[in-house]
């Protein structure tokens, strides 16, 4: 599994379709291979972007945990570790595409008082499993799916 590192990679993936949502997360996916031109901003078009941005045909993953939804750095890092951990465990079932898991709502601070508590990690992990299960119900076309 490759990690998304650059802003254009994240922008291209976010421009793809949203394949699953849960109460706190959204999963964005960009098919790699036969995609046409992708716009990453006003007037910016990248012809053949998947080949230029994603040079290795593999599963690509990025995590977005904005300060807006997780104020403390320890919480953001714990959530990112959970995202990458769950995705690594489920990698054989993921298609060869670029994925971004985005935190889209805050976890209740009254329920999860500690910034990096075990109950918070378990709740995040359970919801991520649910997110990836929902995404599995919307697979890529058979020609682009990751071989098992």
Q: Find the CATH number of the domain harbouring 71.
A: 3.30.230.10
Q: Tell me if the pTM is above 0.85.
A: no
Question: What is the reported pLDDT for 143?
Answer: 47
What percentage of the chain has pLDDT greater than the value 90? Answer: 59
Domain that holds residue 68: 2-140
> For 130, what's the count of Cα atoms within 13 Å in the CB-facing half-sphere?
12
When pLDDT is averaged across residues 114-120 and rounded to a whole number, the result is 88
Q: Distance from CA of residue 69 to its chain's centroid?
A: 16
Residue 115 lies in a domain: yes
Crossing angle of helices 118-136 and 73-89, rounded to 10°: 40
Stretch among 50-54, 63-67, 113-117, 121-125 having the lowest mean pLDDT? 50-54
- Report the mean per-residue pLDDT for the chain: 83
Determine the Cα–Cα distance for residues 120 and 71; give it in Å rounded to an integer: 14
List CB contacts of 18: < 8 A, sequence separation 6 or more.
26, 27, 28, 29
Residue 66 reports pLDDT greater than 70: yes
Q: Is 23 a domain residue? A: yes
Does pLDDT of 39 surpass 50?
no
Instruction: Give the 3-state secondary structure of residue 28.
Output: strand
pLDDT score at 111: 87
130 occurs within a structural domain: yes
| Mean pLDDT computed over 5-31 | 93
């Amino acid at each position: 599994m490759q990690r998304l590192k650059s802003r254009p990679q994240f922008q291209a993936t976010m421009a793809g379709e949203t394949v699953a949502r849960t109460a706190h997360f959204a999963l964005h996916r960009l098919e790699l291979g036969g995609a046409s031109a992708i716009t990453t901003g006003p007037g910016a078009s990248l012809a053949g972007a998947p080949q230029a941005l994603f040079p290795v045909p593999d599963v690509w993953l990025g995590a977005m945990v904005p300060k807006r939804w997780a104020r403390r750095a320890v919480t953001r890092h714990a959530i990112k570790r959970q995202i990458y951990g769950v995705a690594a465990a489920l990698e054989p079932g993921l298609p060869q595409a670029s994925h971004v898991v985005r935190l889209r709502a805050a976890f209740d601070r009254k329920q999860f008082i500690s910034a990096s508590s075990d109950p918070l990690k378990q709740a995040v992990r359970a919801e991520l499993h649910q997110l990836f299960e929902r995404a599995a119900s919307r697979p890529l076309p058979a020609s682009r799916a990751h071989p098992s």
